[in-house]
Every structure is written in structure tokens, then in C-alpha cells.
């Protein structure tokens, strides 16, 4: 996992099923868009996304076109991608 912004932290786990579980942290005081790449043939648009921030807890999120996720300011997101 990699992010160019030191306030964006990413952690990924490969699942036995061939999918991935990801944790994304945004410590920025502003929202940040994060593009998910390098997941092979997995359909990122079908990811299960849950986001918590200062403003909301455990909100279901959606991936944008191209595998981009908008992370609210000071938030954490968990994603489950694939089978």
C-alpha cells in the first residue's frame, strides 16, 4: 500500500478468497480523494465501504468512477473488495 500524502495511511490484507480488506486513514483537516490501484481484475466499484469521521459514525460509502474514494476530513474507512 502507498499514499503520497503522509497524512493518508493505508493498510491492506490479502484474503484467502482472493479479495482484499483495506483500512484507510485520513488525518488531514480536509477531505482527500484516494485512488485504489493494483488490485488486478477485482471490481473496485463493488467494494463494501464503511466510513467513520468526526461528523458521522459507520456510514456506508460508495466508490466513485475509476476506483476513487473520497475520504472525509479526519476519517477512517474499511473496505472489502472481491470474492
Could you read off the pLDDT tens digit of each residue along the chain, which spans 83 residues? Answer: 456 789 999 898 999 998 899 999 999 999 998 888 776 677 777 788 999 998 888 888 878 777 888 999 999 999 998 88
Our measurement of the distance from residue 76's CA atom to the centroid of its chain's CA atoms, rounded to an integer in Å, reads 8
Helix (H) or strand (E) holding 7: none
Contacts of 81 (CB under 8 A, 6+ apart): 19, 20, 21, 22, 36, 39, 42, 43, 44, 46, 47, 48
The grid coordinates of residue 33 equal: 480523494
Q: What is the pTM of this model?
A: 0.83
- At 42, list the grid cell: 477485482
Amino acid at each position: 500500500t502507498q499514499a503520497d500524502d503522509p497524512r493518508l495511511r493505508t493498510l491492506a490484507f490479502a484474503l484467502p478468497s482472493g479479495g482484499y480488506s483495506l483500512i484507510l486513514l485520513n488525518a488531514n483537516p480536509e477531505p482527500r480523494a484516494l485512488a485504489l490501484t493494483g488490485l488486478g481484475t477485482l471490481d473496485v466499484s463493488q467494494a463494501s465501504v464503511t466510513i467513520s469521521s468526526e461528523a458521522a459514525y459507520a456510514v456506508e460509502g460508495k466508490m466513485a468512477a475509476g476506483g476513487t474514494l473520497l475520504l472525509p476530513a479526519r476519517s477512517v474507512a474499511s473496505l472489502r473488495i472481491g470474492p
